[in-house]
Chain A
Amino acid sequence: MSTTTVVDARKTPTAGMSVVLFLEKPEQAFCVVGSCIALTLYHPRTGHGALAHIVLPRSSDRTGPPGKYADTAIPYMVEALGKKGANCAGLVAKLSGGASMFGTSGPIKIGEQNAEAVTQLLKDLKIPIRGTHLAGPKGRRVTFNTQTGDVTVEVVGQPAETL
């Protein structure tokens, strides 16, 4: 059992559940997800990016932090990045997570629903998905590097993959 450490967690901003972090080149950030989705939006020309730790697919008129739900997080990220000069037309997306960690019953299926919701919303906004690392039974440690736009995904016991 081994795992690669891409960044030092103590020194790198971390996106907790429902949190959206906005970054500028060459900053990086990370988050750890299970059934949640780690969504990155990146503007290669300006070097602006955002990392969201999305918990649930739909807000269904519930209140909460914008990063909690896919249907509130993505518009929030796009608008905020636009204000920084990173317009929607130039954004690319990468997403990882959506695991089914304890089995297949109850809220555990939410991982699959999260991935579907995020994918559809990105499609609606015509934001191209440049990489995915989804599903399976394991958690993921996701590191977003705005120097390159790379997203590195680590799974316990497996080599790290870069999207």
Chain B
Amino acid sequence: MTELVSTAPDLMVMSHLFTAATENASEAMSRWTNGQITLSLEEVREVDLDQVSSELDVSDELLTMVVHHLDGELGGQLILTFDEQNGRHLAASLLKREICTDPEWSDLEKSALNETGNILSCAYMKVLTDMIGENLVPSPPYFIQDYGASILEQAVLAQAMVSDRVLVCRTNFRREGELLKWNVFFVPTDELLKKLTSTLESTD
């Protein structure tokens, strides 16, 4: 239900940016899931580094994740996360099968979630690419399972090098109106963030 980006000088500017990215991602997700899943941006605010896990309610819970990198100076990471139940439910829905109860995820289930990450990240990056006029291409997705807080920590690391605060954008995912326990963490590099900010400020 949350996105996490980075330190930011102007919350209004960032809110404008991520509203547009979220709307595009929501349209893509809706098409991919036959209208079942939608996203909406709820809030944008800064939090202290030591409060990130608690503010986002991500601790030692085991999460299933699809990770994308943006390589280069204008880079970053986009991570889509689910708890076990929601991840299994999504995979089953996309594959039109019963929810799997095998402890190990099958290659087909992983592929279904990876493709979901692909669709989400490409929709996000298309908006950012259009805004800054630079081509942002997400890497192929990869599937991992780990403690939520350890992934969150890794995602904010690049920003922790330059600041003690990070910007949090809270996004809600809904399936047919019902809130889902999904998260998106998007963490641009400092260079990409500056580029996004300067582009938006110059167009205001």
Q: Which residues of A contact B (CB under 8 A)?
A: 1-3, 5, 9, 14, 16-19, 30, 32-36, 55-56, 63-65, 67-68, 99, 101-103, 105-108, 110, 138-141, 156-157
Contacts and interface: CB of A to CB of B under 8 A. Distances in A.
Given A64-B164, A106-B158, A16 B150 contact: no
A17 B151 CA distance: 12
A8 to B, nearest CB: 10
B67 A141 contact: no
Given A1-B103, A35-B153, A68-B160, A17 B52 contact: yes
B54 A16 contact: yes
Contacts of B161: 56, 107
Contact of B164 (A2, A30, A65): A65
A117 to B, nearest CB: 14
11 contacts: A1-B145, A5-B60, A9-B60, A17-B52, A32-B53, A65-B50, A65-B164, A101-B150, A107-B157, A108-B157, A156-B147
B51 interface: yes
A33 B156 CA distance: 12
A17 B53 contact: yes
B158 A107 contact: yes
Interface of B: 49-54, 59-60, 62, 67, 69, 71, 75, 77, 103-105, 144-151, 153-154, 156-158, 160-161, 164
Contact of A34 (B54, B67, B153, B164): B153
A55 B145 contact: no
A55 B156 CA distance: 10
B60 A18 contact: no
Q: A-side binding surface: helix, strand, loop or mixed?
A: loop
A102 B104 contact: no
Contacts of B104: 1
Contact of B52 (A16, A63, A107, A141): A16
A110 B50 CA distance: 18
7 closest residue pairs by CB, A with B: A139-B150, A32-B149, A34-B150, A16-B50, A139-B147, A34-B154, A139-B146
Nearest to A157: B145
A12 to B, nearest CB: 10
Contacts of B146: 34, 101, 138-139, 156
Nearest to B105: A1
A114 B128 CA distance: 33
A43 to B, nearest CB: 25
Contacts of A105: 71
